[in-house]
Amino acid sequence: MTTGDRPILLIEDNEQNRYLLTFLLEQHGYRVVSAADGARGIAAARSLAPALILLDIQLPTMDGYAVARALREHDALRDTPIVAVTSYAMPGDREKALEAGCTGYIEKPINPQTFVAEMERSLKRPGDALAGASPSVGGQP
């Protein structure tokens, strides 16, 4: 398998945010697969082996913290970077996200100028086996 084909998985219930983040990431050459809730996100993560998971914390039914914990229960997803994306700005939220298994944290509102670079900081963490997420040029739209 060519890790270069591994997508970014976006778990986000808000359609406008899905659109914006997908647009930004595709502009940078990433392939993006999105899921609108935690259950679908977990299923997608298990079948796709994404290079990185962007995880909205405010999700219906199952919040992002619960989703992160569930993702980490699967051996194949144990080392996958998970970046929490949240509009909560309460002290302790970052710690809560890290405790749940997230490796990074980006606050909403999304800054289109910096978002991809912020995400890439988690992508390039040492030890995460991520040759796979390097942007590919000339891939499928």
Supply 96's token pair: 């809560």
Whose tokens are 């002290």? That residue is 91
Least distance in angstroms from the C-beta of 12 to Mn ion:
6
Q: How far is the CB of 83 from Mn ion (least distance, A)?
A: 14
Name which of 58 and 134 has its Cβ closer to Mn ion.
58
Ranges within 9-38 binding Mn ion (CB under 5 A): 13-14
Q: Based on CB atoms, which residue is closest to Mn ion, 8 or 130?
A: 8
- All residues at 6 or more sequence positions from 112 whose CB lies less than 8 Å from its CB, including other chains: 20, 24
| Rounded Cα distance, 79 and 122, in Å | 12
- List of residues contacting Mn ion (CB under 5 A): 13-14, 56, 58
